[in-house]
A and B are shown apart, each in its own frame.
Chain A
């Protein structure tokens, strides 16, 4: 059954990778500008923050949690970097402070979710507002835009004579790290196990809450790192930066084949999905479409990415091929809130009965 499942699931990820290749090929044929070094540099820079956060978000969604506060954590880390740099005139200290801030944001989310047993959707909607609010507290309405040239140049100029932006180093490093973590370690297998069934995972000795807490901290840390990239890329720390990034990250992760009901997904699907998103964005711009077209396309891609696997599995069922239940990425517990029900069966379950009797 596991083998069958894996076969069906990787099919979607392969589809996304294929789509990425097709997008690049089509882009190359459509316009010489698309494959030009400058444009590829722009595409990679443009997706770097989203991709950095998408790595840990994939793991988080695989264990059936979610973090909506990532854009606010990113901006808060950026604000702290700005403030610390102004105070100390030392970028290394500022960077450490920024990464610590991101990790702390993640830790707070994780503690609220694991220690108090709250739903991660509700908690992170709250901290989305809280962290964003703290950005305004720290910065007021005055963005900080005096950063040292030798640091901002990292975000403005490519590596040596190549077209690759410096953020590629971070993307490659952390991409490889999270890839290995998810697909090569016991920790990664724990994540899938928790996502497939938290209770069963706990009974088989997996330290469920520790894994979830760690994932929240990782997500916060990566949001902090994305905050550093964002700050350098725009040479500015402003309280209203990265608005709405949380939904872009989540949309990209889901588009990459991670099931919102947990337990399913691969890192390469997620990476390919973010790159497809960035490449199609650039293509649409080169073709003269405006930003609205991209927004519509993003939405439709997301919808199609969940609808097609579902339609295929329905079709198979009708044709008489009974497929394993768990193999269906969008079936089972239909929506995210239901995931939280399974997380805390006894008290919450009893609580529900009040309403329904």
Chain B
């Protein structure tokens, strides 16, 4: 077996259990409560997991290279608000301007994060907690008590938030496109392979000549643009934004990545896995409701499952690591 084969088998193995878990949850819940597995039920889950899913897909890029971005919740909310405000202040502004505004705001936060982390060498956890506060504070200052309501949201975003194609909500299509492009980028481009190398061993990556700082900076900038798009989706989803939009979602984003097999220690995982993780997280929440579990129990059960998923992932990782070691021994 070549190294590439080993890698791809392991990658498949990492996502396989999540898909099985997802299918198991959908089927069992669907048997008990048929409306859950109906097309409306499934499309509700997909709509609800789109924003977190897209954010998780872009976050996976960072976690793979051993970085983290906790500022995404604040940035997503800020983008949703600013796009709404911009569209309301300039009636008839082309939709492309809204999209550009959203991406530009996300990009701006991304390059600030990237600058501090890549070029000053500061720990990403600290920088992005700081940016979480700074962005949220600026956002609250700008928003005050103002709210963005449905009539201020650009019409294409309202359409994006409510429409669907072949039964798949547009919102989820966006998240899916994001996750697929990140997955392909990371898997087949040299740039993307470098991110895995950096996450596996930053020191070694540096020594083989990978421009670690530049890769880190670009990854944060790119992730910022994705966060901007997530902000647009958030605005489309709720047709509403205020100073609390996106509050606290960063932890759900990290949770989706971890459930989706993106190891927090870096070097492993895919953006598709992270998206599936977000869908699974949402599916479980919905399933508990459909099974008649009291809403008060739902968060507790979701938390317990998250801990279980992390544990399970660790067991699988240790096992497949042993397998790789054995194969290497056989080859040697």
Residue ranges of A at the interface with B (Cβ–Cβ < 8 Å): 68, 112, 116-119, 121-123, 125-134, 136-137, 140-141, 243-244, 247, 250-251, 254, 260-261, 291-300, 302-303, 306-307, 310-311, 314, 330-331, 334-338, 340-341, 344, 347-348, 350-357
Query: Contact at B296–A136, with CB atoms within 8 Å?
Result: yes
Band of interface residues on B: 35 or more
Query: Contact at B200–A295, with CB atoms within 8 Å?
Result: no
Interface hub of A129, A141, A336 (most chain B Cβ within 10 A): A129
Q: Which residues of A contact B133 (CB under 8 A)?
A: 247, 251, 295-296, 298-299, 302
Task: Give the distance in Å from the alpha carbon of A219 to the alpha carbon of B134 in the complex.
Answer: 27
Query: Contact at B311–A112, with CB atoms within 8 Å?
Result: yes
Minimum Cβ distance to chain B for residue A114 (Å): 13
Residue from A122, A300, A355 in contact with B268 in the complex, judged by beta carbons closer than 8 Å? A355
Minimum Cβ distance to chain B for residue A129 (Å): 3
> Known contacts A122-B258, A122-B310, A337-B63; is A303 also within 8 Å of B324 by CB?
no
Q: Which residues of B contact A134 (CB under 8 A)?
A: 300
> Known contacts A302-B130, A303-B134, A355-B7; is A126 also within 8 Å of B307 by CB?
yes
Residue from A261, A292, A330 in contact with B141 in the complex, judged by beta carbons closer than 8 Å? A292
SS of A interface (majority): helix
Task: Give the distance in Å from the alpha carbon of A336 to the alpha carbon of B303 in the complex.
Answer: 22
Query: Contact at B321–A347, with CB atoms within 8 Å?
Result: yes
Sample 28 A-B pairs with CB under 8 A, ordered by A number: A122-B254, A126-B258, A128-B251, A129-B302, A133-B299, A136-B295, A247-B133, A251-B130, A251-B133, A261-B123, A292-B140, A296-B137, A298-B137, A303-B127, A303-B130, A306-B130, A335-B123, A336-B123, A336-B125, A337-B67, A338-B265, A350-B321, A351-B267, A351-B320, A354-B268, A355-B268, A356-B201, A357-B6
Interface hub of B196, B309, B314 (most chain A Cβ within 10 A): B314
Query: Contact at A355–B199, with CB atoms within 8 Å?
Result: yes
Interface hub of B63, B67, B197, B264 (most chain A Cβ within 10 A): B264
Query: Contact at B304–A130, with CB atoms within 8 Å?
Result: yes
Q: Which residues of B contact A344 (CB under 8 A)?
A: 265
Total A-B Cβ pairs within 8 A: 238
Whether B21 is near chain A, meaning CB under 8 Å from some CB there, is: no
Closest to A342 in B: B265
Q: Which residues of A contact B3 (CB under 8 A)?
A: 357
Query: Contact at A348–B265, with CB atoms within 8 Å?
Result: yes
Interface 1/0s, chain B 115-153, versus A by CB < 8 A?
Answer: 011001111111101111111111011000000000000
> Known contacts A130-B306, A356-B200; is A337 also within 8 Å of B266 by CB?
yes
Whether B16 is near chain A, meaning CB under 8 Å from some CB there, is: no
